[in-house]
Structure 1
Amino acid sequence: MTFPDSHRSTGQWIGGAWIPGQRQAASLNPMDGSAIGTFADGGRDEADAAIAAASTAFERTEWAQSPRLRQTVLLDWARKLEAQAEDLARLLTLENGKVLVQSRGEIAGAISEIRYYGGLARHIPGHVLEVEPGVFSTMLREPAGVAALIIPWNAPAVLLARAIGPALACGCTAVVKPAAQTTLLTTAFLRALSEVPGLPPGVCNMVSETGHAASARLVESPLVDVLSFTGSTATGKRIMATAAETMKKLSLELGGKSCCVVFPDADIAATASRIAAAATIISGQQCTAARRVLVHGSVYDAMKEQLRAALAAIAVGDGMNPAMGMGPLIDTAARAQVQGQVERAFDLCDEVVLRGGVPDSLPAAGAFLTPSLVAHGDTAAFFCQEEIFGPFLVLERFEDEAEAVAKANHTVFGLSASVWTTDGARALRIARALRNGTVWINDHNRLFAEAETGGYRQSGLGRLHGYDAFADFTELKHICQNAGRVA
């Protein structure tokens, strides 16, 4: 497969220039461990340079005060990405492992997101009140300043777009820190932005690394005004503790343990098939992926058999092969961690319904793991409570609505859930009772640029996607003026 050289070797993007970097690291294909290309391996010094460039651009260019410029740049960027969409999707599958149909959907979704925020760039209104005769209070939303965006590897295109879209649209400048596993894809995305005429140098920067020194510097730097992070709850807590010193704004989407609540009137076979797909999206490496399936006792046995069959039928292999339903995990280290958690769950659960594992028929250097399903009654079990970031599902039973809600809400997380029923009133009743930022009805994993997403409790702070994402990257200013009255 042929890609432009810029997709195979990357540098740091700082102050408008692409800098090769003194050290290089390899990006590996999780399908077989082969090298795809190389990327610059930076650290604290590169982060400081990028932060300084972003700070200068915020203070000395027209970016923060020119919504028309921001709209033009974002829309031009989207057009450039669209022209490269197929190459980007294939690069994403090579670097991340997800099946190509998912990569194509992600690239399209990311481009849609950038267009959405480009459209909103010229409409971030405030309001004016006459609080007393002749006294006016004007409320303005202003860009917060320098935004640091730490982007994960599981959906690197759309998760970049949903953070950088509102950040740039409202007038912030940015420093992007991609995940080491998907730096080539992030670089390809941002290189298209760097080629847009009119983008002031330093408005957007990128620092890549294999370690954590650059990320740590972004969190602790007093010149960074907003920190947006998507990842684990444990890492999010460490970021909060460090960021407290500078009191920067935080936008955090963290872990999840999504429940699917299935009632007797649902089409069990069709529901099982869709839940299996929701559990194995990105090989189960999505924070909103289905993790727990709560089923009414009257259809519990039927769902167990249908869900086992649906998971077992998913073809696992090379994501470039259109016959595959699931690719490898992101790397062998992640596969080993997930496999260890799953094996421990097998030992402790009430019933192993489908025993997944490492397939013998696929490359030994790949990070493949087939889906697993267990049944269990105690919601306090570690595998019902902890996020296992892979293709693993827990089946649980309930007898009435109150028990279903109590079990589903027995978690420290609150990112997403789904309700499966043909009874419209019941669907709304249960959705309102579930403590989650997103609840789907007869669906799962449906995310849109226009609809805010984020979590309750330990699933994070703030919202991305939608208009409310601007709140994460802006400050609200009150300007009071006593204009007096005409005599």
Structure 2
Amino acid sequence: MQARHFINGEWLHGEGWVDSLDPATGEVLGAFAEGGEQQARAAVDAASLAFNTPQWAQNPRLRQQVMLAWAAALEPRREKLAHLLTRENGKPLAQSQGEVGGALSEILYYAGLTRHTPGAAMEVAPGEFSTMFREPAGVAGLIIPWNAPGVLLIRALAPALAAGCATVVKPAPQTALFNAAVMAPLLEQKALPPGVVNLFMESGHAGAAHLVASPKVDVLSFTGSTATGTRIMQDAAPTMKKLSLELGGKSCCLVFEDADIDAIAPKLAAAATIISGQQCTAARRVLVQASRLEQMKAALSAALKALPLGHGLDAATRIGPLIDRHARDQVGARIQEAQDSCDQVLLAGGIPDDAGLADGAFLTPSLIHHRDSGAFFCQEEIFGPLLVLEAFEDEADAVARANHTDFGLSASVWTNHGARALRVARALRDGTVWINDHNKLFAEAETGGYRKSGLGRLHGYDALLDFTELKHVYQSVGTV
């Protein structure tokens, strides 16, 4: 497989080729065209020119037709795309199938909103009218991560297109083949004006840096680490562009004494190891009421130990590899530090001994118990299969512990008491709180965080607003 740049309506070669690898085996899957600042500049210029012509930005019916045609073209490719995602990203096939289905749902959702961006009008005084228009913000730069490259591409690209923006997409190098395959049916549509959607790839960061700093980019959407998001804010400040940033998380699961521990433990284990723990909303900390701590230790250890590792195309696999060996080594080292300094190691994870997994970027899950919520492994987002177990005494203690963090992306509350569930959910400083569930994400409901978990919202109607500007038009017409 080969993936090329697509700029101003043309497929282009780059400055050589970069291999894309299967993280489970190290096998070369194909290559993508190398790019950088030159391709980013060309893409931004093409998008700027396309936005300044009215045939796209002012034509919601055309935009809807293009998006519906894109979804229709993707539908028969679902299984092929899911297999490619598993091979390039490593996640189990069932997770890839769910992600491709979620991405299609996202396109259809925003296609439905495309023709509904209403404003408001009012008569502020006799014969004086104020009209509020929602207009596309301009050129949108979209920097896409590798951990969920289907949904995270579409949840930025679809609302940007629905709003009427022209776009430049920069995928992560680890999943560039998959992103190019998802976008190909859109890019090949004759109804899509040249320059409205541009795609460039790179193994470095020069092109992404240009998107951040360019005054021609009006909106920038990024999903990734808080450290990178902070640098983006600093570098984008001179242009005052709109930012949509979904950043780090340290999701807490609050389990109260009335919960069924044995039934919940497998769900928590799955929530902690989704995409091998490489999801920003993955369960990171389990806070259990002290009276049930020992039972949770045993149940959660057993649930994590029962999850088989393997290639994502193996139907038995529940945990695939990390995205690459570099990530495995970095995350593995940090997990080892946590094991060395915690109060109790309940499950010591690491690089597996299985010879069949030796060529891949695998880590077995780790579970540790600790009392001090200020420890680095309770505060730092460690992007892998590490779960920290803590105890709390009562509701106030649970909320205080859960809110003791710089992040605020997501959390979950596990209890059979309805009033307690809502009371605690309202007290948590997180953008999403699930009750008796975890990691439920879909097109209709906004996702985003408080504090250092980011700015703006993705999914839902508010994501559309992130790619618009609000214009006030005043006119005095007099009276009869």
TM-score bracket, normalised by the shorter chain, equals over 0.9
Is the CA contact (8 Å cut-off) linking 1:73 and 1:197 kept in structure 2?
no
Report what 1:364 is aligned to: 358
Is the CA contact (8 Å cut-off) linking 1:329 and 1:390 kept in structure 2?
yes
Are 1:469 and 2:463 an aligned pair?
Answer: yes
Paired letter, 1:392? L
CA distance, structure 1, for counterparts of residue 283 and residue 438 of structure 2? 8
User: CA offsets, 1:204-228, max 9 Å, x none?
Assistant: 0011000000000000001000000
Match among 303, 306, 313 for residue 299 of structure 2: 306
Match among 60, 81, 93 for residue 53 of structure 2: 60
CA distance, structure 2, for counterparts of residue 297 and residue 456 of structure 1? 28
Report what 1:97 is aligned to: 90
Match among 69, 72, 77 for residue 79 of structure 1: 72
What's the CA shift for 1:364? 2.1
Paired letter, 1:186? N
What's the CA shift for 1:34? 1.0
Are 1:445 and 2:413 an aligned pair?
Answer: no
What's the CA shift for 1:363? 3.2
Report what 2:187 is aligned to: 194
Match among 160, 165, 169 for residue 172 of structure 1: 165
Structure 1 consecutive aligned stretches of length 4 or more whose deviation exceeds 3 Å: none
Is the CA contact (8 Å cut-off) linking 1:280 and 1:391 kept in structure 2?
yes
Are 1:215 and 2:203 an aligned pair?
Answer: no
Alignment of 1:395-406 (within 5 A): 395-406=389-400
CA distance, structure 1, for counterparts of residue 12 and residue 54 of structure 2? 22
Match among 407, 416, 421 for residue 413 of structure 1: 407
Report what 1:385 is aligned to: 379
Paired letter, 1:188? A
Paired letter, 2:430? N
CA distance, structure 2, for counterparts of residue 173 and residue 213 of structure 1? 21
CA distance, structure 2, for counterparts of residue 456 and residue 483 of structure 1? 45
Report what 1:294 is aligned to: 287
What's the CA shift for 1:196? 2.1
CA distance, structure 1, for counterparts of residue 378 and residue 132 of structure 2? 46
Paired letter, 1:480? Y
Match of 2:203, SS? coil
Report what 2:334 is aligned to: 341
What's the CA shift for 1:28? 0.5
Alignment of 1:41-190 (within 5 A): 41-190=34-183
CA distance, structure 1, for counterparts of residue 43 and residue 277 of structure 2? 34
What's the CA shift for 1:267? 1.1
Is the CA contact (8 Å cut-off) linking 2:19 and 2:31 kept in structure 1?
yes
CA distance, structure 2, for counterparts of residue 460 and residue 363 of structure 1? 36
Is the CA contact (8 Å cut-off) linking 1:152 and 1:179 kept in structure 2?
yes
Is there any run of 5+ residues in structure 1 with no aligned partner, and where? 1-7
What's the CA shift for 1:61? 4.5
CA distance, structure 2, for counterparts of residue 78 and residue 278 of structure 1? 29
Are 1:230 and 2:236 an aligned pair?
Answer: no
Instruction: Name the TM-score, length of structure 1 as normaliser.
Output: 0.98
Match among 358, 367, 373 for residue 367 of structure 2: 373
Instruction: Name the TM-score, length of structure 2 as normaliser.
Output: 0.99
User: CA offsets, 1:431-470, max 9 Å, x none?
Assistant: 0000000000000000010000100000000001000112
User: CA offsets, 1:139-166, max 9 Å, x none?
Assistant: 0110000000000000000000100011
Paired letter, 2:367? L
Identical counterparts, % of pairs: 65
Match of 2:295, SS? helix
Is the CA contact (8 Å cut-off) linking 1:68 and 1:122 kept in structure 2?
yes
CA distance, structure 2, for counterparts of residue 319 and residue 10 of structure 1? 23
Report what 1:483 is aligned to: 477
Report what 2:237 is aligned to: 244
CA distance, structure 2, for counterparts of residue 475 and residue 114 of structure 1? 22
Is the CA contact (8 Å cut-off) linking 2:93 and 2:313 kept in structure 1?
yes
CA distance, structure 2, for counterparts of residue 83 and residue 170 of structure 1? 27
Match of 1:148, SS? strand
What's the CA shift for 1:60? 2.0
